[in-house]
Amino acid sequence: MLGRKERDQLELYMCGSLRDLVPDDHVLVKVDRVLDLSWLHEEVAELYAAGFGRPGIDPEVAVRLMLAGFLLGIVHDRRLMREAQVNIAIRWFIGFGLHEVLPDHSSLTR
């Protein structure tokens, strides 16, 4: 019998983690195993103006995005953010779920 896959089905929930979908030998998994950015927030805290303007992008997310772009050969911020919209490995690496809105590309250059 000929089957047909419906492409417009909504995803209601996901069991497990995005990490389960990223191969162990992926470059971002290898880097994540050794990358420790726990010091970053304290180091850059004085550069942020508390109580003024809209909240800035998490500095760890910004560093992880730029690192992912470098490692994957994506040099343009707009292209990196378009890739992050559909690339599960990048979303996992920066700590964003499938349904979370990503930062705007301009957040990386300002």
Q: What is the pLDDT of residues 64-106, one digit of tens each?
A: 999 999 999 999 999 999 999 999 999 999 999 888 999 888 8
- Residue 14 or 19, more confident: 19
* 17: pLDDT strictly greater than 80: yes
Task: State the Cα torsion 21-98-65-46 to the nearest 10°.
Answer: -130
Q: For position 70, what pLDDT does the model report?
A: 97
Of the pLDDT bands very low, low, confident and very high (cuts 50, 70, 90), residue 107 is confident
* 53: pLDDT strictly greater than 90: no
| CA angle 10–29–104, rounded 5-degree value | 55
Determine the 3-state secondary structure of 99 from DSSP.
Answer: coil
What tokens were used for 63?
């560093």
92 contacts: CB under 8 Å, gap ≥ 6: 17, 18, 19, 21, 22, 28
The mean pLDDT of 52-68, rounded to a whole number, is 87
